[in-house]
Amino acid sequence: MNLAKCSVLMRERGRVEETIHSMQRAGAGSLQVISDFDMTLTRFAHNGMRVPTTHSKHAMKELLNTYYPIEIDAGRSTEEKLPLMVEWWTKVHELLIDQRIRKDMLARAVKESSAMLREGYKVFFDHLAEHHIPLLIFSAGVGDVLEEVIRQNHVFHPNINIISNYMDFDHTGVLQAFKGQLIHTFNKRQGALSHAAHLRQVQDRPNVLLLGDSLGDLTMADGVTDTHNILTIGFLNDQVEERKESYINSFDIVLVKDETMDIPNAIVKYMRPKDSVPV
Ligand SMILES: Nc1ccn([C@@H]2O[C@H](COP(=O)(O)O)[C@@H](O)[C@H]2O)c(=O)n1
């Protein structure tokens, strides 16, 4: 399997290769994929412009300008960021509710937005579906919007489960609240643990490929017990020099400013198909 690409950084190449080989031997039937959505399955930038996240609306731009630099600040601890993330997400959800978003507006809003999945997304989603490999999308974005993005890209396959912030509409179809516990970038561990019952459905798949763009995404598999191998891939999209060291120390593979799914695709395609005979 070829991991040679100039965007790829690894702290321990040998260990990564060993993990991939161990996962390959166990085969696609032992694999599950857990992935963040915004800026992981979607592109960070295209033609020099930031691609919108599931939150993006003009009114939220100001909040993004204030809080996003805090989210990615390599000089602040997660503990320091936590209350500020709750503050950010709470304000965003309040703004969305104030805008009286209508359920029937979502499809058009997504169609008119420039939301974009990463290059190679179709191979990724289709391959996982074809080989019955479960894909859990774990997003601090807006679940209804991300569902619409993958539906409009024709890759919303039955192997997909989603944990995210879902909108709660009133009987007239107007947004009135968000359902359940708020998920933000740095509390995915709690989300993972509270959804552990759901994750039990894939408990017989002890090998996990985890994809994220934030250090907070590393806890997305914390609800999965008895894992044999967890291979983590981190997309380092922004503030590269400031964050490179912490990403290399935290993710097994770091992809620097790589807007493609080339490496995840190479890994999932390398897995031995479920019904092939082991050699
Ligand atoms: N107003 C906001 C709030 C958050 N974001 C970004 O969304 C990302 C969360 O979604 P994941 O699928 O990545 O969990 C997060 O990284 C924030 O940067 C935003 O764009 N606007």
Residue nearest to atom 4 of ligand 1 (CA): 55
Residue nearest to atom 15 of ligand 1 (CA): 185
Interval between CA 177 and ligand 1 midpoint (Å): 18
Fold held by 8-270: Rossmann fold (3.40.50)
Per-residue confidence at 277, pLDDT binned at 50, 70, 90? Answer: low
| Two tokens, residue 242 | 């400031």
Residue 212 has pLDDT above 70, yes or no: yes
Residue 137: name the closest of 40, 11, 50, 15 by CA.
40
| Alpha carbons 4 and 7: distance in angstroms, whole number | 9
DSSP string, 105-128: GHHHHHHHS---BPBTHHHHHHHH
Residue 207 CB burial class (10 angstroms; 0-12, 13-18, ≥19): buried
Which sequence spans correspond to the domains of the chain?
A: 8-270
Residue 130 has pLDDT above 80, yes or no: yes
| Alpha carbons 112 and 239: distance in angstroms, whole number | 29
Annotated active-site residue in 38, 213, 258, 262 = 38
Residue 104 CB burial class (10 angstroms; 0-12, 13-18, ≥19): exposed
Residue scoring higher pLDDT (191 or 188):
188
Amino acid at 5: K
If DSSP codes are grouped into helix, strand and coil, which group holds residue 31? strand
Looking from the CA of 159 toward its CB, the CA atoms found within 13 Å total 19
Global pTM value: 0.95
Interval between CA 21 and ligand 1 midpoint (Å): 33
Residue nearest to atom 13 of ligand 1 (CA): 38
Per-residue confidence at 77, pLDDT binned at 50, 70, 90? Answer: very high
Q: What digits encode the pLDDT tens for the residues 154-176?
A: 999 999 999 999 999 999 999 99
ipTM of the complex: 0.92
- 38 catalytic, yes or no? yes
Residue with tokens 């420039």: 114
> What per-residue confidence (pLDDT) applies to 196?
77
C-alpha Rg value of the chain to the nearest Å: 18
Interval between CA 38 and ligand 1 midpoint (Å): 6
| Alpha carbons 131 and 154: distance in angstroms, whole number | 17
> What per-residue confidence (pLDDT) applies to 233?
98
Give, in order, the Cα–Cα distances in Å from 158 to each of 168, 202, 223: 23, 14, 21
| Alpha carbons 233 and 9: distance in angstroms, whole number | 10
Test site for ligand 1: of 68, 88, 135, 219, most ligand atoms within 8 A of the Cβ = 68
Q: Which residues line ligand 1 (CB under 6 A)?
A: 36-39, 53, 55-56, 60, 63-64, 68, 71, 88, 92, 139-141, 185, 214
